Amino acid sequence: VCATKRRCLILNRVCVFWSILILQASCVEPICGNFLEADHSDSRFQNVKYILCDPSCSGSGMPSRAFDDILARSIIDNGDLSQAHNGNKKNNRKRKREKESQNTQNQTDKKERLEALSKFQVDCVCHAMGFPSVEFVSYSTCSINKEENELVVGKILERVNDFELDRALPAWPHRGIPMENATFDSSLLV
């Protein structure tokens, strides 16, 4: 289930490619809509056993977004370079205070956005786990933030008791961040 028609069309194209050209089977039907509004009792979902949850995230692990973040921080940290050496200490102090205020606001905005994304991600995965025949739910993001990865998994496991955490991609030498005081086996995440 995709929220926008554009994403639904992209998913449909990907599914057609994998289903017809590679797997020679069709088991995925993209639906345009709000996943959180998908009714667990809807007949279309009664036999669904496997769900891949790839909800909206910050995209902080995407190289292009990481570059954008680095560039934005550089601009904020350096300010207007054309006026950096004008010799006016009063104006320099004022610009420094403005820059510090902007940095604080940016950090607050980022924290609020991560909290909202994290809540949405937890809600999506928990909703997926509520379908009557589901046996396996895979959660993925393209984020490097623990708020969208390890902490989301911890919150999900606190809310849902019918599932257990399993190691994905065991051949990968490293993924995730080790967590102290986790209420689940966080070694499965790294």
Tens of pLDDT, residue by residue over 160-173, are: 988 888 877 778 77
Place of tokens 């610009």: 95
Residue 128 CA to residue 122 CA, distance in Å, equals 10
What pLDDT does 182 receive? 74
142 is catalytic: yes
Tokens of 70: 């680095």
Cα first-last separation, the chain: 29
Residue 25 half-sphere exposure, CB side, CA atoms within 13 Å? 2
What pLDDT does 85 receive? 46
What pLDDT does 87 receive? 52
Residues ≥6 apart with Cβ < 8 Å to 56: 117, 120, 121
What pLDDT does 6 receive? 85
Beta bridge partners of 136: 50
What pLDDT does 119 receive? 95
Residue 32 CA to residue 47 CA, distance in Å, equals 19
Pairing of strands 50-53, 136-139: parallel
What pLDDT does 84 receive? 43
81 DSSP assignment: G
What pLDDT does 39 receive? 96
What pLDDT does 128 receive? 96
Which candidate in 8, 32, 126, 142 is catalytic?
142
Residue 51, SS3? strand
pLDDT under 70: residue ranges of the chain: 18-27, 64-105, 175, 186-190
Residue 38 CA to residue 30 CA, distance in Å, equals 13
Residue whose C-alpha is closest to residue 131's, from 49, 9, 37: 49
